[in-house]
Amino acid sequence: MNETYPFTISPLPYSYYALEPFLDHEVLVFHHQEHYAAYVKGLNATLKPHPKLQKMTMESLIQNAHTLPEPLQTQVIRNAGGVYNHQLYFDSMNSPSFSLPKDSLFKKLTEDFSSFDNFLNKFLEQCMALFGSGYVWLVLNQNTLDITSTPNQDTPLTRQQKPLLCIDLWEHAYYLQYQNRRSDYINNWFSLINWEHVLKLYVSAEKKS
Ligand SMILES: [Fe+2]
C-alpha 111 – ligand 1 centre gap (Å): 31
| Mutual angle of helices 195-208 and 103-113, in 10-degree steps | 80
| pLDDT score for 2 | 73
pLDDT of residue 145: 98
Residue 36: the pLDDT is 98
Q: At what angle do helices 182-190 and 116-129 cross, to 10 degrees?
A: 150
**Among residues 66, 91, 116, which one ends one of the domains?**
91
Q: What is the pLDDT of residue 201?
A: 97
The list of the chain residues with pLDDT below 70 reads 1
For residue 36, the enclosing domain spans: 25-91
Rounded-to-integer distance, Cα 24 and Cα 15, Å: 11
Q: Give me the pLDDT at residue 1, please.
A: 64
CA of 175 from ligand 1 middle (Å) equals 11
Same structural domain for residues 51 and 84?
yes
Gap from CA of 86 to ligand 1 centroid (Å): 6
Residue 118 pLDDT? 98
| 70 Cα to the center of ligand 1, angstroms | 24
- 58 and 135 together in one domain: no
Span from the CA of 114 to the centroid of ligand 1 (angstroms): 31
